[in-house]
Chain A
């Protein structure tokens, strides 16, 4: 049935297939990048309309990299579509649709392949539209892939934990010899002190570097200068009459 015949209404009606290949949708998704994962992950994932991605536990994805054994292979006789059912022993198998050029021989069942593609759902089932399918080069590749699945999961889990727990960002001044201590707003002690001082400025000219150093005796001139460089680079302060005078960008 042609697309415009579905739905019974006049004109074109968009199907509510999750993750449908709609250019607007793809751009709205903030989940970019490729997730190395097991097939079970994809089969258990639910499509989230709000996030426009697939979610399973702590994993969010649209594009995946999987490796599995071809159980069934179907090659269009006069076309470029190959459909494979692949199984990576994580429980269940998934269909891969691959539109390929005529390069090489069709891949046979019981060969391991690596697939990179987008997860789509249709009629309640998930499948992968592959943009890359290759035969496994070496068994080491398969083992490495499985280890990578674990690694990716652990990294993502850790990312989720740290962003939930604390809001600090460790700032690292290049070449700085000061300790990477952070205050509650993510600045080092020197940066915080300089910024707070500059917030008390009442004149248009602000404070000069020498004045700041005089006020903040606990920091070396070098530390003050580096703090100034960082803060002005981030936009928290700006120079006024010359490069040696500064004011804070906001006074709150």
Chain B
């Protein structure tokens, strides 16, 4: 399990081919069930491709763990869902700021590269 960078929508391009973690809100689930649209913490919309059908509800907040492909989509290997109480008061803006913070302090947010 390698280090997953915590990113938002606008950072997708600079993390091409890298493992990432994104927390966002599910806006649309494609009829096939294998593709979902996610609204990220910086209000961008990204496409997440799942290897298998996962049970998510539109409007729920999830965490996507996967790799960015060259089409600026996420090829997802794990979806983490949460209980409603866990995301009830989630501060998406604060999370967005935190995401930038992790980029600024690589010598303090210690990871296995």
A interface residue numbers (CB < 8 A to B): 37-38, 40-41, 43-44, 56-57, 59, 69, 71, 87, 89-93, 110, 112, 136-140, 143, 146-147, 149-150, 153-154, 157
Since A91-B1, A110-B81 are in contact, a sample of 7 more A-B pairs with Cβ atoms closer than 8 Å, ordered by chain A residue number, is A44-B110, A57-B110, A110-B80, A140-B91, A149-B110, A150-B108, A153-B109
A143 touches B98 (CB 8 A): yes
Q: Of A59, A92, A139, which contacts B112 at CB under 8 A?
A: A92
In the bound complex, what is the Cα–Cα distance between A140 and B87 (angstroms)? Answer: 8
Contact between chains at B98 and A146 (CB < 8 Å): yes
In-complex Cβ contact of A139 among B3, B21, B61, B101 (8 A):
B61
Q: Which chain B residues border A140 with CB–CB below 8 Å?
A: 89-91, 94
Mark contacts of B22-41 with chain A using CB atoms, 8 A cut-off: 1 yes-contact digit, 0 otherwise: 01000000000000000000
Residues in B neighbouring A59, C-beta threshold 8 A:
110
- B94 touching A40 by the CB < 8 A rule? no
Q: Count residues of B near A (Cβ-Cβ below 8 Å).
A: 33
Given the complex of chains A and B, what is the CA–CA distance between A143 and B101 in angstroms?
11
Closest 8 pairs between A and B when the two form their complex, measured CB to CB: A91-B112, A91-B3, A153-B108, A89-B4, A40-B112, A90-B111, A150-B108, A139-B90
Distance in Å: Cβ of B111 to nearest Cβ of chain A: 4
Which of A38, A112, A157 is the one whose CB lies under 8 Å from B109? A38
B94 touches A41 (CB 8 A): no
Using known A-B contacts A69-B80, A110-B80, A140-B90, determine if residue A44 contacts B112 with beta carbons closer than 8 Å. Answer: yes
Among residues of A, the one whose C-beta sits closest to the C-beta of B95 is: A143
**Residues from chain A with Cβ under 8 Å of B112 in the complex:** 40, 43-44, 90-92
Q: Is the CB of A91 within 8 A of B61?
A: no
Q: Once the chains are docked, how many angstroms separate the CA of A138 from the CA of B102?
A: 20
- Shortest A224–chain B CB gap in Å is 46
Main secondary structure of the interface of A (DSSP, over half): mixed
Q: Contact at B108–A137, with CB atoms within 8 Å?
A: no
Please tell me which one of the listed residues A40, A43, A71, A154 contacts residue B108 in the complex, with CB atoms under 8 A apart. A154
Tell me if A139 and B109 are in contact (CB < 8 A). no
Q: Which of A37, A89, A110 contacts B110 (CB 8 A)?
A: A37
Q: With A89-B65, A91-B111 given, is the CB distance from A143 to B3 under 8 Å?
A: no
Q: With A41-B110, A137-B86, A140-B91 as given contacts, are A89 and B102 in contact (CB-CB < 8 Å)?
A: no
Q: Are B1 and A93 in contact (CB under 8 A)?
A: yes
A146 neighbours in B (Cβ, 8 Å): 6, 98, 102, 109
B101 to chain A, nearest CB (A): 6
Q: Are A154 and B90 in contact (CB under 8 A)?
A: no
A112 / chain B contacts, CB cutoff of 8 Å: 80
B78 at the interface (CB under 8 A from A): yes
Q: Is the CB of A40 within 8 A of B102?
A: no
Partner of A149, one of B1, B86, B109: B109
**B98–A147 touching, CB < 8 Å:** yes
CB-defined contacts of B87 to chain A, threshold 8 Å: 138-139
The CA-CA distance from A131 to B109 in the complex, in Å, is 25
